[in-house]
Structure 1
């Protein structure tokens, strides 16, 4: 069953005023791994996620845009966090290409042996939490949380793997390698004190991913 996948990040001796710089640092690591260097959307939520955003911007980064300067990571973060409030959450969306079966509404576990696989743009949300947002949710969710969406591009059990041909398994492995590359890049370059890759159901995902790579290599 599909599960929501997150990466939570905590920083040592963290000051709220340092949140914009921390967000820029994490977004830069994502850009290095994904090759996508522009923010696609930004939102600011007050109090909790049940409230409507007080700020929201969707960036046009294709040929229709007169300028894409505003969607540069540093500029997008600076604009959204211009007025920092400790009861708000700051969310930035970026995209990366993950391998999916053609007709990406088909779960990997149901893909036929002759299914064509293609890179598909997938949205990742990177959020920074004020210390008083949603009853100090940062204590459980991290000062910054990365929301990868559903875990289906990365997770299969051994029976599902046997259904896929060698090329399909290779593409799923490439998805896993991108996820781990981003996680390790953040750990190395962002000055965090701890991180946790987790799913909404509590499944021990990190161990499953590492075991999967060991089986395929």
Structure 2
């Protein structure tokens, strides 16, 4: 039988990215699925199309756990593709961003950001727990290299900044992101600002502006 890799190759070889339906931004995401694994992309580029895993993880590694009630990938249509969840993804996560080089100069290219499963799971869990337990909690999120930690941080920051309790009071007065790496600091700053929907919400605290922390 065919596997997810057959679907990936079909997208790369048999889907013309110049056709209107497959042009950039026309579809929110393209999924390659079999009974065990899920992969996705937001930009078809023929043979150079990059597919990323959209799996839940299995025993601390790649893949998906066994499902006693059906296929390992049934979470895709039972959970992710449900209309309420899709609307949440569109409203809270999807972004078209302009790419920048290492010096922060725009390259003229754009990228459609669609969250991967582990990113959705992490943000949803933390937001739900903070909503139920308030501020002052401690959490640890572990991301492997290249798994999109900057986007996860950005989505989490923006959603926590707008979080209100049952009495419509803000749960957090401000969100402060601290990093000990300069390269990551620049990357995070760009990512969080790209997701900014209201100008002025995000402020970079540099050495010259460190006094601002005392007022936050």
TM range (shorter): under 0.3
TM-score, normalising length from structure 1? 0.27
Structure with the higher fraction of residues in strand conformation? 1
TM-score, normalising length from structure 2? 0.27
Structure possessing the higher relative contact order (Cα contacts under 8 Å, 6 or more residues apart): 1
Q: Mark the structure with the bigger radius of gyration.
A: 2
